[in-house]
Amino acid sequence: MSKNVFLGAVLFIAGLAIGLSFATLSAQQREGRRGPRLPTPDELPQEVATLRQLIPTNSTIMMDVQWHWTNLWWAGKRKNWPLAQYYFNEARGHIQQLVRKNPTIRNQVDQTDVDLQGIVDGIDTSSLAMVKDAIAMKDSVVFEKNYRTMVESCYACHKSVGRPYIRPQIPTAQVQAMVNMDPAATWPQ
């Protein structure tokens, strides 16, 4: 009988240890779902300063726009309309990111504030929408015409913020050879 009592005590202790470890693990998992603790009011200024350092610069955001807009050109020229739509969405999303970051931007020439949000709202409903429509129509001729109009809109924006030296052009070389622009590509599978 003492053997059974001893075995029972061992099993009870083992079960208790396993149960406690599950409870601890579950608490850790629940805490992980909540995320990190929020900063205290005293920590908040440092937290904000740290986060501001992580925000990309305007030029970084615009390099992303350039990358996607250039790839959009080549996808459209190859009539790969789903890929063109993807690059259009990415470019537009980065433009919107810039406006969220800086709805107003300083003109570098005359030191006035420029309503970037207003400019982008106008472009979004005109020349940018025209490119989107050309992609939806899968019309190469209209796509090229509307793409050129959008590049002119880009330059008008650059001039309005005092950066006329940033003069966009129709791409002359595909910048990313990794993505196959051929809509009939069969590899990789």
Residue length of the chain: 189
Residue 161 sits at the vertex; the CA angle it makes with 158 and 164, to the nearest 5 degrees, is 45
* Average pLDDT value for residue range 27-50: 79
Please give the structure tokens belonging to residue 14: 């083992």
Domain count, the chain: 2
The CATH number of whichever domain residue 149 belongs to comes to 1.20.120.290
Tell whether 74 is covered by a domain.
yes
Closest to 73 measured CA to CA, from 140, 155, 120: 140
pLDDT at residue 16, as a whole number: 59
Taking residue 88's Cβ as centre, other Cβ atoms within 10 Å add up to 25
Q: Summarize pLDDT for 129-149 with one digit per residue, the tens.
A: 999 999 999 999 999 999 999
Q: Which residue has the higher pLDDT, 41 or 21?
A: 41
Encoded tokens for 58: 């305007």
pLDDT digits (tens, 9 = 90+) for 54-97: 999 999 999 999 999 999 999 999 999 999 999 999 999 999 99
Residue 145 lies in a domain: yes
Q: What percent of the chain has pLDDT over 70?
A: 83
> What proportions of the chain, in percent to the nearest 5, are helix, strand and coil?
65, 5, 30
> What does pTM read for this prediction?
0.75
Structure tokens, 142: 């209209």
Residue 63 lies in a domain: yes
Tokens linked to 56: 């990309």
- pLDDT of 72: 97
Residue 117 scores a pLDDT above 70: yes
Statement to judge: residues 71 and 153 lie in one domain? yes
